[in-house]
Structure 1
C-alpha cells in the first residue's frame, strides 16, 4: 500500500473507532458508571450487548492503525514505532477486550445471583465489586492509550509527516489525557479533559483522508 493509501486507511479507522467508542458509551456507559451494575445489566441486556459489540469494533479498528502505519513511521524511529504497536496495537485492545468480558460477566453474575441468593446482601456486594473494577479498568485503559498516543505524536512531530501544529496538539492533549487517567485511578474525572484529544484525532483523521502525509514521504 502506498503512503496515500495508508494515510486514508488510518483516517478511516480513526473515525470508525471513534464512532464505535461513542456508541459504546451511549449503549453501555450508564451501566459501567452505575453503582448497581448488576441491576442495570438485568434491565438493559440488549443495550449492554450492543455496547459490548461497539467496544470490540473500536478496539479492532484502533488496533489496526499502528499496524498499517508502522512501515511509514519506523523509518524515523523504529524503537518508538515498535512501542506504538505494542501499546496501541496490543495492550490497548487487550483492555478493550477485558472491558467487553467485564460487561458479559456482569450479566452472568446477575443470573447466578438470582438463582443462588434469596436476599440482596450477596447481590449488593457483587454489584459494588463490579462497579469498582469497571472504574479501574477504565483508568488503566486511559493510561495505556495515552502512552501509546504520546509515542505516536512524538513520531509524527519528529518526522513532520503531518503539520507540526497538528502533531503538537496531539502530544499536549495526550499529556492531559494521561494525567486524567492517572487521576481517575484515585477519584472521579471530568470528561471535558478528554475533549482536546478527541477533537484533535478527528481533525487529524480528516487531514489523513484529504491531505495524506507530507508529500516528501515516499
Structure 2
C-alpha cells in the first residue's frame, strides 16, 4: 500500500512538472527574434530575451524532474527502456542549456548592431542570421529529436504496462512521430519554426502532453496494474 501511494505521489508531481514545463516553454518564445529586422528590435526588447532565457532554464529541472519522478515505476516494467528515457531527457537538458546560453548573445549582437556603421552592419546581419539558425537547430531539431526518442521509449513502456490508458499512450506515440517529422522539415528548410505547417504538426503532441499531465495529477498511474503484473509475471525486461 505504501509503495502504491509513493508511485501515485510521484506521478502527481510529474504531472505538475509537465505543466510547469509547458508554461515555461510558451514563456521562452521571444517574438522579437522572429521579426525580419530583429537586430533593430533586440535592444528595445531586452526584457523579452531575458524572460525567454529564464523560462528556458526553468524547463531544464521541469523536464528532467518529470523523468526522475516517473523512473521508479517505469523501472519496475522495463529497466533498460526507462534508463534510456531518463538518459535522453538528460541529453535534452543539455540542449536546453545551450539554448539558454545562445539567447544573451543576441543582446550583445543587438548592441553592436546599434553602434555599428553601414560598413559593418551587413557583417553583423550575417552573424545574426547564423546565430538565429543555430538556435532554431538546437531548439527545434536537436532538442525535439532527443526528447522524441526518449518519449517513444516512455510511451512504449506505458502502452505495454497500461499504467495509463492505452489510447493516451498511442496518442503520445503518434504525436511524437509527427513532432519529429516536423523537426526534419525544419532541418531540410521545408518549413520555418513559426510557420502554420510546423505549428499544426506539433499541435497533437502539445494537446496530448496537456491531457497526460492532467491525468497524472488527477488520476496518477494505475498501480494496481503495475503490482498485478509483477505478481504474475515478475519484472519485465
Give 1:69's aligned residue.
70
Q: In 2, Cα distance between the equivalents of 1:150 and 1:40?
A: 39
Q: How does 1:27-176 map to 2 (within 5 A)?
A: 28=30, 30-88=31-89, 90-114=90-114, 117-119=116-118, 120-137=121-138, 138-176=140-178
- The alignment status of 1:197 with 2:198, answered yes or no, reads no
State whether residues 56 and 96 of structure 2, in contact with CA within 8 Å, keep that contact through their aligned partners in structure 1: yes
Unmatched 5+ stretches in structure 2? 192-196, 228-237
The separation in 2 between residues aligned to 1:134 and 1:170, in whole angstroms, is: 26
Q: Give the structure-1-normalised TM-score.
A: 0.91
Counterparts of 1:49 and 1:84, CA distance in 2: 30
- For the pair shown, the structure with the greater C-alpha radius of gyration is 2
Moved more, 103-112 or 33-42: 33-42
Following the alignment from structure 1 to structure 2, what is the Cα–Cα distance between the partners of residues 124 and 94? 27
CA deviation after TM superposition for structure 1 residue 127, in Å:
1.7
Deviations 1:169-207 (A, max 9, x none): 101111111111111111215201111111111111111
Give the unaligned 5+ runs of structure 1. Answer: none
Contact 1:36-1:131 at 8 Å conserved across structures: no
Number of equivalences: 213
1:208 aligns with: 216
Structure 2 length-normalised TM: 0.84
RMSD, aligned α-carbons: 1.7
